[in-house]
Amino acid sequence: MENDTLLDVRAVGRSFPRPGGSELLVLEDVNLTLNDCEIVGLLGRSGSGKSTLLRIISGLSPPSRGSVSYMGHAVDGPANGIAMVFQSFALFPWLTVLENVQLGLEALGLPPKDIRARALSAIDLIGLDGYESAYPRELSGGMRQRVGFARALVVHPNILLMDEPFSALDVLTAENLRTDFLDLWGEGQLPIKGVILVTHNIEEAVLMCDRVLLFSTNPGRIVTEIKIDLRQPRDRQDPAFISVVERIYAEMTARRGDHAAQRKERFPGSGIGTQLHPVSANLIAGLVEAVAAAPYDGKADLPDLTADLQLEVDELFPVAETLQMLRLAELEGGDIKLTHMGKLFAEKDLNGRKEIFSRALVSYVALAAHIRRILDERGSHTAPKSRFFDELEDYMTSDAAEETLRAVIGWGRFGELFAYDDETAMFSLDNPR
């Protein structure tokens, strides 16, 4: 291992047991290194295993396979020198800012005088000077998050792991904190040697990181590494910045199709075990309309569209992916392009849209076709949700099965393919064949 390697993650895999006794594979063959003076980004959709990986790296949870070594030593429990910043912090409401930050140090067994001095300097560093004796309830969300940063930095960790630390903040507050963090990092004022930043925000990754690792979903795997050679401070309007953002969009959309194809198929189309995103029919129709209309006229660049519709990437991808699955649109190279069916959908009135949608469901969403077939076959034309839930649990976690059923119920209702009664949790047919 090179001297400047802080962290070495080798062939890490992680699975979790499922109720039925099978295993859910969340991470597969993850390899990464973090070098001295680097900020490395892990970019992936929610549910791709990013938080799981960070917990493994920090020693909070063991990998099922592979190993993690930190400055040449195997990590096999919570590692000193690795600290974590979370999306939001559980600050103790009855403790002041200073006391909350000092908590981070208690395990180190320093003299009280040093504890106080270090906590004060961390508070000062992160821009909370003057708030030492304030209570969390007196602070804004952004300031509370700064307390979280101070609590992580006060131990002078070599490595800082950040799990979507800006995603719970409003846009301006997040940008302020990012800028302050990057300034301190650039000036060498932070008592850390390297950073891993987990995010689902492409621009944030391009703004902050020296390298970005793209994470696939199901299982989480690193599919590409993108080096970002732009000088700091970076400018979001810089054509070179925009071109990196575009490239990442292209990579992220290119991988989606591959994965669907790799899944085991028991039914034609997307496979009954495909996890579905509960995006509403309204959102689906909205996106088709937006792409069909000027200035796009049927084909849009995803970054432009995200900005135009004021959506987050994490909100746009599930909708775009759903359109792709329904063959209303194709995703390629960071673009979304309506198919012939997609264009027809945009032109039709509500009934015409329902018809197209219903046909697409039967043809391309195996679970929807499966539910419809069962309802057609049964004399009562009804079936309990639990029946399908049990089937889905062979393929996914119970949370994912819930979401998938929520998705198919919404779409089935819109396409009038079947009805569903929330009270009795029963599927039924309005129009049996």
Burial class (CB in 10 A: 0-12, 13-18, 19+), 95: middle
Please state at what angle helix 340-347 crosses helix 281-292, rounded to 10 degrees: 100
Contact 314, 164 (CB under 8 A): no
Per the structure block, which two tokens stand in for 3? 């001297």
Nearer to ligand ADP, 143 or 169 (CB): 169
Q: Which of residues 36-95 bind ligand ADP (CB under 6 A)?
A: 44, 46-52
Strand order of the β-sheet with 5-17 is 23-35, 5-17, 65-70, 73-74
Report d(CA 144, CA 11) in Å as an integer.
Answer: 36
Nearer to ligand ADP, 12 or 26 (CB): 26
Nearer to ligand ADP, 301 or 393 (CB): 393
Report d(CA 23, CA 16) in Å as an integer.
Answer: 6
Nearer to ligand ADP, 49 or 412 (CB): 49
Which one of ligand ADP, Mg ion, none is in contact with 126 (Cβ closer than 5 to 8 A by kind)? none
Angstrom distances, CA of residue 359 to CA of 7, 59, 341, 376, 408: 51, 49, 11, 16, 14
Q: Which of residues 312-371 bind ligand ADP (CB under 6 A)?
A: none
Nearer to ligand ADP, 24 or 230 (CB): 24
- State the number of binding residues for ligand ADP (CB under 6 A): 13
Which one of ligand ADP, Mg ion, none is in contact with 44 (Cβ closer than 5 to 8 A by kind)? ligand ADP
Helices (H) and strands (E) in the chain, counts: 15, 16
Nearer to ligand ADP, 66 or 127 (CB): 66
CB of 239 to ligand ADP, least distance (A): 31
CB of 87 to Mg ion, least distance (A): 8
Nearer to Mg ion, 167 or 363 (CB): 167
CB of 89 to Mg ion, least distance (A): 15
Report d(CA 134, CA 53) in Å as an integer.
Answer: 34
Report d(CA 304, CA 178) in Å as an integer.
Answer: 23
Q: Establish if 20 lies at the interface with ligand ADP (CB under 6 A).
A: no
Nearer to ligand ADP, 48 or 274 (CB): 48
Which one of ligand ADP, Mg ion, none is in contact with 349 (Cβ closer than 5 to 8 A by kind)? none
CB of 224 to Mg ion, least distance (A): 20
Please state at what angle helix 366-377 crosses helix 385-392, rounded to 10 degrees: 140
Which one of ligand ADP, Mg ion, none is in contact with 179 (Cβ closer than 5 to 8 A by kind)? none
Please report, as ranges, the residues that interact with Mg ion according to CB under 5 A.
51
CB of 128 to Mg ion, least distance (A): 26
> Which is nearest to 29 in space by CA: 10, 55, 16, 43?
10
Which one of Mg ion, ligand ADP, none is in contact with 106 (Cβ closer than 5 to 8 A by kind)? none
- Residue 292 CB partners (closer than 8 Å, separation 6+): 298, 338, 342, 343, 346, 347
Q: Which of residues 392-421 bind ligand ADP (CB under 6 A)?
A: 397, 399
Q: Which residues bind ligand ADP (CB under 6 A)?
A: 16, 24, 26, 44, 46-52, 397, 399
